[in-house]
Amino acid sequence: MRFPLLVLILVAVAGCAAMHAEQTAKLLDPYVGHPLAEVADRFGPPSGNYDMGEGFMAFEWSHFGLSQSDTTDCLVLIAALPTYGNTKSTPPTDRANWIVQSWHPYGTGCR
């Protein structure tokens, strides 16, 4: 009796994790090709940024959630390119001039 229950629980957890990843994709995919300012308007300012080289800047949201008040165990990194110049001449605070190229969630709470 315990084995089928354990299998059922594992299947439910796996399905829930897949559903959370799909929800995160639905949230962030529409922002690819758009200014980073749109992401910041929706989810708040990034918690950090760093130069990735080859013209890319990574922007990090360390407690990514569905809203600014929803803080989950999810780290999201967004790779962006400047619309002009390079990572040295375009300040990271000028989010309207950074275009989202890709993103990746890390953590168990990503959704």
Of residues 31, 17, 11, the one with CA closest to residue 74: 17
111: tokens are 């959704």
pLDDT band at 14 (very low <50, low <70, confident <90, very high): very low
* 71 in Cβ contact with 36 (< 8 Å): no
Q: Is the pLDDT of residue 22 over 70?
A: no
pLDDT at 71: 55
- Which tokens hold the place of 80? 């962006």
Return the H-helix or E-strand segment holding 41: helix 36-43
What local confidence, expressed as pLDDT, does residue 109 receive?
A: 73
Question: Would you kindly state where each structural domain of the chain is located, as residue ranges?
Answer: 2-106
Q: At residue 70, what is the residue type?
A: D
Checking 25-28 for CB contacts under 8 A at 24+ apart, the result is 27/66, 28/76, 28/78, 28/103, 28/105
pLDDT in tens, 31-50: 999 999 999 998 889 999 99
49-88 pLDDT per residue, tens: 999 988 899 999 886 655 445 556 788 899 999 998 777 8
